[in-house]
Chain A
Amino acid sequence: MEYSTLITLREGDICKVARIQAGTTATMRLYEMGFNTGARVQVLKNDRGPIIVGLGGHKVALGRGLAEKMLVARSK
């Protein structure tokens, strides 16, 4: 399994959340919104501004700074 940060993924990529290191508050918030370990995330948009991902059929926008701190495992 190869790990990378969420920000490096491209539109359409699907990945699983491995670890988030964004400080307690943001990490907890993400966890609580469903970005907990193993959650399946699809990148819907990653160009300028916050990155948009799909999670459980819903869309969430994440700041780019945050996406740099989210370690994910890319699945094919």
Chain B
Amino acid sequence: MSMTIALAGNPNSGKTTLFNALTGSNQHVGNWPGVTVERKEGQTRYGNQVYRVVDLPGTYSLGAFSEDEVVAREFIVSGNPDVVINVVDATNIERNLYLTTQLLEMGTKVVVALNMVDEAESREIHVDEKALAQRLGVPVIRTVASRRKGIDELMEAAIAVARVPLNGHVQLSYGESIDKRIEVLKGFLQGGDFRYPSSWLALKLLEGDSYAKKFVFENSNLRDLEEFSRFWDEVAVHEEEFQLEIVDSRYKFVGDITKDVVRRPGVAVETTTDKVDRVLTHKYWGMPIFAAIMFAIFQLTFAVGQDLLGEWMAVAIDYVGGALEGFLVGVNAPAWLIDFIGNGMVAGVGAVVEFVPLIVILYLLMGLLEDSGYMARAAYVMDNTMRAVGLQGKTFISMIVGFGCNVPGVMATRTLENKKDRMIAILINPFMSCGAKIPIYLVFIAAFFPSYGGLVLFSVYALGVAVAFLMGKIFSKTLFKGETSHFIMELPPYRKPTLSNVVRNMWDNVSGFLARAGTIILAVVSLLWVLAVLPLGVEPYGSASILGRIGQFIAPIFEPAGFGTWQAAVGLFSGIAAKEAVVATLGMVYAGVEAGTELVAAIREVFTPLTAVSFMVMTLLYTPCAATLGTIKKETGSAKWTLFSAFYSFGIAWVLSVLVFQVGRVLGFS
């Protein structure tokens, strides 16, 4: 078995950058053992050995306040990493070392990666890493993850630590009254069959850790022990006091350790971040600037993606399709196969793949936003607005992530500490229009509003946000009452985005998009093709085919919204498998078109500007795709809420698109 190295650290410490630097393209997403929560994992080579690297969620602590923290510490205690690399931001060493103390408490083998030393130096913060290492009792290696500096030394130290047994661990003291009780508790826990070290469990119990309490009481009968009960009741009285005392002790430990180890300039110099923030978080300008940035992103995506690249993609797909068909004709393939390949596969899958350049641009821009540190500012400027609808600023980050894809969007809600906030954030996330829906809008934009692309796209997204806000408000007044949690958010310094991070993030998303085109979309398209040409003898892709009949059965539902055609119905229905399938299906059923321009022409014939708008509203809001529903199931652990999500969003989409069509008609649009 190869060794396992886990990466732990605070948010914004450069953990992702280090993970990317270590693993390169050798990474994938898997599930945590036991729980169905996704995690990132990769491999790195050092010397002639291969090591497994696991990226833990970025957290400030290893308590039980958020899902992220539980996931991280659960891996450390029961996933048995051979060593944990603790990424520490050198510019903010005290707070970062707080997590380090918790790692030491767990009896884990730790190596500290003192990251961002370049930034620390430029801010005249000097850290004596040798002294730090000596006091912590673990190796400390200076790194600049963004420039891949210190990576080899880090690996060398990590492997060395992993090879030898743990010795001479630093022992924290939490003050007499707590230390004494830890000993007592350890006595009680002795002999129990727990998978955690008893001293750690004892500490967590005194800290009032809900997870540890539940674990111990479910796996032992300590509760029935009278002696224990008496002890425990007495502890309960002091719970809050102990909690704070334990945190203070850790900070005191950190304070002692960093004394004379860290040197800072006496007067803080005003940094670029401060200057930029003066504008970006301005009380009046902050919000319009944020809106302008988002608008610019859509405009740029549209301009660059469509005009420059979209065309040659279409030509390329046309070419591939033509070549394939030519080849098939050449080898005397049966007519049905030629039709399947040319009109089913190439048309359907091609209709999706054509949009790749656009999606590449969108994800690159979103990645820049994320890597620069602006995301936290967006949450900041939105907090007031979010609060007005019963949510909080942090929720907004999961919403922006949802613009890329709702699956990570729903997962990003894990940082919300309060159950109510989290449930609402999950339920409204699918209203954030994801990248896979873009092809749908673009086809309709190209058909009816070619000169207002960016504006229409922006409006669609804005409508999604508005509906999300409205539903947030309704949910917080009805289904999930209670206090909105407080807003606490670090505003990291603005940093020059690391190109490889941005590209990596883009590629993760785009490869997912391509993979879906080759799997789900291909499968859906193949199935639909079969349904579209059967029963034998009917006109293929006609209303008499099985597909046509199914479509006709569903279509009346959409009549009031103006697009009660069987083709639209089938398209929407297949979109539940994956949103790209909507365009793929439309591409196929509208006369088996070969490429985008013909689909656009076909759309222009059967839709009107008004029904195009109501159709876009429908696709924006209706039932989330299967992958998102699956993630909602995982994250809420509830089939009931998953079904609820599937149906209520359909209801809202239906009502709004009907409203658009009916009101539009009354107003004289067509």
Contacts and interface: CB of A to CB of B under 8 A. Distances in A.
Interface of A: 22, 24-34, 36-37, 44-45, 47-50, 52, 54-63, 65-66
Interface of B: 60-61, 63, 65, 91-92, 94-95, 98, 123, 125, 208, 240, 243-244, 247-248, 251, 264, 268, 273-274, 277, 281, 283, 286, 376, 380-381, 383-384, 387, 392-393, 417-418, 485-493
Given A25-B417, A28-B247, A58 B92 contact: yes
Contacts of A61: 376, 380, 383, 393, 487-491
Nearest to B251: A36
Contacts of A22: 486
Given A47-B283, A57-B92, A58-B92, A29 B488 contact: yes
Contact of B248 (A30, A36, A47, A48): A36
10 A-B pairs closest in CB distance: A63-B487, A59-B491, A66-B486, A48-B283, A31-B247, A32-B61, A34-B95, A26-B486, A47-B283, A63-B486
Contact of B383 (A29, A33, A54, A63): A63
B248 A28 contact: no
B244 A57 contact: no
Contact of B488 (A26, A36, A48): A26
B487 A62 contact: yes
Given A36-B247, A57-B123, A60-B489, A49 B283 contact: yes
Contacts, number: 118
A57 B393 contact: no
Contacts of B393: 50, 61, 63
Contact of A52 (B123, B281, B384): B281
A36 B152 CA distance: 37
A56 B490 contact: no
B251 A34 contact: yes
A27 to B, nearest CB: 7
B487 A32 contact: no
Contacts of A57: 91-92, 123, 125, 264, 268
B491 A33 contact: no
A11 to B, nearest CB: 11
A32 B98 contact: yes
Given A50-B393, A52-B491, A34 B94 contact: yes
Interface hub of B248, B274, B491 (most chain A Cβ within 10 A): B491
B65 A28 contact: yes
A63 B94 contact: no
B487 A58 contact: no
Contacts of A66: 486-488
Contacts of B125: 57
Contacts of A65: 486
